[in-house]
Structure 1
Amino acid sequence: MASTSATDIPAEVQAVNVPDGTTDFIPLRGKKYDLKKPHITELPITWGNWYKHVNWLNTTFIIFVPLAGLISAYWIPAQTKTILFSIAYYYFAGLGITAGYHRLWAHTSYKATLPLKIWLAAGGAAAVEGSARWWSRDHRAHHRYTDTDKDPYSVRKGLLYSHIGWMVMKQNPKRIGRTDITDLNEDPVVVWQHKHYIKCVIVMALIVPTLICGLGWGDYAGGFIYGGILRIFFIQQATFCVNSLAHWLGDQPFDDRNSPRDHVITALVTLGEGYHNFHHEFPSDFRNAIEWWQYDPTKWCIWVWKQLGLAYDLKKFPHNEIEKGRLQQQQKKLDQKRATLDWGIPLENLPVVSWDDFVQESKNGKAWIAVAGVIHDVGKFIQDHPGGKALINSAIGKDATAIFNGGVYNHSNAAHNLLSTMRVGVIRGGCEVEIWKRAQAENKDIATVTDSSGKKIVRAGLQPTRVTPPVTTADAA
């Protein structure tokens, strides 16, 4: 058979190559890297090359500078005004990350006007966590490749690595998952900040807090140490908790296939980013917390900005879809719990026993009773029954359906569940249970309710031994 070349395919049905931003990476600053050259991370760490594996620029900003600030704080007293300013500047820089880098640029969960973009980009620079372009690129890769080798800060590589190790150790750019950042490359605020990132950091993270504290109340040194260096350290560690603690501590109310989790402690230190399980399920939602009592100041700020005309097009995932995800996860947990319980031998796995054999085995000493066509061995339960031992003994070798379902006592759902654990067989004779069992063996279309693992679900009050008595009606005239 002759092969068909691409030129033989009509033009209207040929696939069109649409640029998606994942293949052509154009650096906006610095030198171009030779991707064909072996990266340092491909070589083992030795005493002779360990320093080449360290990202010294990040290490300086994240470890050495905060350490120097901490030591300097011993000789520089903390003034009340400076501490209050540092806390306020902490929130300013924090919103630059959470509302700017994260929800605006990484996830485009809302749109912002130019003044708000500039304000958020300035706040992000004050946090010293990389440019908005670099931060958003890695974060999109984190969402696309969560918990895999292409995840830049995968918690599978260790809690310490996901918290800070991925920053202080060099990463192979060929191993980080590629993502589309076309929109970021077309945003003039993002591009400008990326090109002039170091200058932005020096000004916003160090010079501005120093001048405010110095010109405001004469505390230049305190502004530099507390409003600058130490504030940077605290906000970096808080943000890094989203990469580490938020993937290790808390609950998973929407999906447990990956590591993200919800926890109020993480939310408190990250301005609301701690509801991470929700966020990974619904990343385009401008909220992280959807309940009124959950702490998410970033969400509240975005909402206020909308009222002021600074933000618009706030995205919210449909409530119906959110509740479906929550319900499915609850059902999955129920299924896992159900699998640990003894529901008795499934009816389709029970042997079929003739009535005569049932009677004969009962005469031979087995405490067998029949309820709704299912044989139960109640020998170990007779002495534990709270009442009616004589009645149970009188039903051995007989059909006790009527007695069990209201003829003498209308047993509870718990009694039917307990009885199911005593099944030993099914009566032959065309009864409903045997017909169902035969249909199962023949792969006939018999409707059953099963859980996510394929096991049959027995709802409350629906044990096969429960037979609803007929409704009493008036005799015919």
Structure 2
Amino acid sequence: MDPAKPPSMASKDEPNRNPNYDPKKPHIADTPLTKKNWYKHVNWLNVFLIIGIPMMGVVAAFWTPLRLPTLIWAIVYYYWTGLGITAGYHRLWAHKSYSARLPLKIFLAAVGGGAVEGSIRWWSRDHRAHHRYTDTNKDPYSVRKGLLYSHIGWMVMKQNPKRIGRTDISDLNEDPVVVWQHKNYLKTVFFMGLIFPTLVAGLGWGDWWGGYIYAGILRIFFVQQATFCVNSLAHWLGDQPFDDRNSPRDHVITALVTLGEGYHNFHHEFPSDYRNAIQWHQYDPTKWCIWLWSKLGLAYDLKQFRSNEIEKGRVQQQQKKLDQKRAKLDWGVPLDQLPVIEWDDYVEQVNQGRGLVAVAGVVHDVSDFIDEHPGGKALIKSGLGKDATAMFNGGVYFHSNAAHNLLSTMRVGVIRGGCEVEIWKRAQRENKDVVYVKDDQGNPIIRAGNQITKVEQPMATASAA
């Protein structure tokens, strides 16, 4: 305690801790899990709320008939509470992808509480940490710790709160709806999670017990498991069209399960976009609801990344995948690694029986290909020991792109004075600027029709009179 401060002020500044708290004692999550202490690692309150209560609901359902109005109401309320998480907790508060009028904020805070997944403030704080520290030890539900852990393990096993990455939630602390819900969270949970759905079914069509079991307990279980799939399934199943450095993925199955949150690779790249699905045919009911609310004046300032930036990310990822495929292919020995051969040596080796052909200053060993040449042995043999550039580029046959690619795998040398080839090779040794495109692994990209053996044909001229 600071002696300069009055006792009342000092006690106000100090954290409200358990008197038995020992800051030097390691948190249980930082100790090994053993047969003797495993029960200490378990968050028994969450086990009861997430697993225990739903199990009791399943047992009670055997003696509780499911009436059609109750089934319809349970499904409707499932979507309401699901939207409370996806449109409210996630896109409105965690990512601020749009703004909402007070009536909509109150509705989303209420039904979000009915999903029983923590307060807006707590949920958004962890989710911002998840985005900032994706797949690291500071990610509260990192899929790197296992699919089951990212789905439910992080809830039922104790975590050291000091290990979770720090995030800024000052905006949430200034939102009166968020503050009120956080202070009155347990009241919100019990009323919106259990009492309200029971009242609707009971007062509506007299099914009090059915409303409690199906629209209350079991509906909570299903909406929780669906939402948890955003942390697990969306980081495990699907494609990565925008970035593959981290685990988020896009898949329609995850989207169907999570009210449109399944296009998770897009979301992690463009988190402030109010959409998850950007194609008209992709399933994203959360996006549709936000758009509808904007038309009704309940939502505004819907944020979207420019399509130009989205397509840039898509193209870059496609190029990255192409580069990865390109690196696995045989493009022949790079020109700068080929030995320089004198023309007389080239001719002499052919006279000694070696099947060499020179095209555009590059020497190729076609010995093993002579018998396989689709144009016949005679044509290919006619080019041995000669400059076959013109023959290969239309003088005898205008060879295909595939033929140029195949020929590149047969390179064995460069002719001294072989036009641009040797000049290019010398420039590489002298570190001079040579214009060609490289992939992200530093390998030159050979476009179709741009092979070194591909020589542009001279324009036809009129014969002399």
Aligning the two structures, in what range does the TM-score lie when normalised by the shorter sequence?
Answer: over 0.9
State the match for 1:211 in structure 2: 199
State the match for 2:97 in structure 1: 109
CA contact (8 A) 2:341 2:414 kept: yes
CA contact (8 A) 1:96 1:122 kept: yes
Give the secondary-structure state (helix, strand or coil) at the position aligned to 1:380: helix
1:404 aligned partner, one-letter code? F
Please give the TM-score of this superposition, normalised by the length of structure 2. Answer: 0.95
Once the two structures are overlaid, the 10-residue window that deviates more, 448-457 or 41-50, is 41-50
State the match for 2:406 in structure 1: 418
Question: For each residue in 1:281-310, what CA deviation from the matched residue of structure 2 results, as whole angstroms up to 9, or x when unmatched?
Answer: 000000000000000000010011111111
Structure 1 residue 193 corresponds to structure 2 residue 181: yes
Distance 1:43 1:413 in 2: 62
Give the secondary-structure state (helix, strand or coil) at the position aligned to 2:220: helix
Distance 2:266 2:34 in 1: 41
Question: For each residue in 1:406-461, what CA deviation from the matched residue of structure 2 results, as whole angstroms up to 9, or x when unmatched?
Answer: 11111111111111111110000252100110110111111121011110000000
CA contact (8 A) 1:111 1:312 kept: yes
Query: What RMSD over aligned residues (CA atoms) do the two structures have, in Å?
Result: 1.7
Distance 1:74 1:371 in 2: 82
Structure 1 residue 72 corresponds to structure 2 residue 60: yes
Distance 1:400 1:258 in 2: 50
Change (3 A) 1:34 1:330: farther
CA contact (8 A) 2:414 2:421 kept: yes
Q: Show the 5 A alignment for 1:167-178.
A: 167-178=155-166
State the match for 1:17 in structure 2: none
Distance 1:43 1:439 in 2: 60
- Identity rate, percent: 75
**Which of 461, 464, 473 matches 2:452?**
464
State the match for 1:44 in structure 2: 32
Distance 1:197 1:37 in 2: 30
State the match for 2:440 in structure 1: 452
State the match for 2:358 in structure 1: 370
Distance 2:25 2:198 in 1: 43
State the match for 1:388 in structure 2: 376
Q: Show the 5 A alignment for 1:337-376.
A: 337-376=325-364
**Which of 64, 81, 86 matches 2:74?**
86
Distance 2:435 2:428 in 1: 10
Distance 1:200 1:30 in 2: 25
Distance 2:331 2:147 in 1: 40
Shift of 1:474: 3.2
**Which of 260, 264, 277 matches 2:248?**
260
State the match for 1:100 in structure 2: 88
Give the secondary-structure state (helix, strand or coil) at the position aligned to 1:163: helix
2:143 aligned partner, one-letter code? V
Change (3 A) 1:378 1:454: same
Distance 2:17 2:239 in 1: 42
Once the two structures are overlaid, the 10-residue window that deviates more, 123-132 or 35-44, is 35-44
State the match for 1:248 in structure 2: 236
Structure 2 residue runs without a partner (length 5+) = 1-12
CA contact (8 A) 2:340 2:414 kept: yes
Question: For each residue in 1:225-247, what CA deviation from the matched residue of structure 2 results, as whole angstroms up to 9, or x when unmatched?
Answer: 00000000001000000100000
CA contact (8 A) 1:35 1:174 kept: no
Give the secondary-structure state (helix, strand or coil) at the position aligned to 1:395: coil
Matched residue pairs, number?
452
Give the secondary-structure state (helix, strand or coil) at the position aligned to 2:197: helix
Distance 1:357 1:99 in 2: 75
2:27 aligned partner, one-letter code? H
Change (3 A) 1:378 1:430: closer
Question: For each residue in 1:334-375, what CA deviation from the matched residue of structure 2 results, as whole angstroms up to 9, or x when unmatched?
Answer: 111111111111111111000010011111111001001000
Shift of 1:35: 5.4
Change (3 A) 1:228 1:30: farther
State the match for 1:239 in structure 2: 227
Change (3 A) 1:35 1:126: farther
Give the secondary-structure state (helix, strand or coil) at the position aligned to 1:174: helix
Shift of 1:26: 10
Distance 1:340 1:226 in 2: 55
CA contact (8 A) 2:373 2:380 kept: no
State the match for 2:461 in structure 1: 473
Structure 1 residue 275 corresponds to structure 2 residue 282: no
Please give the TM-score of this superposition, normalised by the length of structure 1. Answer: 0.92
Question: For each residue in 1:252-278, what CA deviation from the matched residue of structure 2 results, as whole angstroms up to 9, or x when unmatched?
Answer: 000000000000000001110000000
**Which of 209, 216, 223 matches 2:211?**
223
Distance 1:447 1:400 in 2: 26
Shift of 1:36: 5.2
Structure 1 residue runs without a partner (length 5+) = 1-24
Give the secondary-structure state (helix, strand or coil) at the position aligned to 1:425: strand
Distance 2:395 2:125 in 1: 71
State the match for 2:417 in structure 1: 429
Distance 2:212 2:52 in 1: 15
State the match for 1:125 in structure 2: 113
**Which of 130, 134, 154 matches 1:142?**
130
Distance 2:393 2:179 in 1: 76
CA contact (8 A) 2:83 2:108 kept: yes
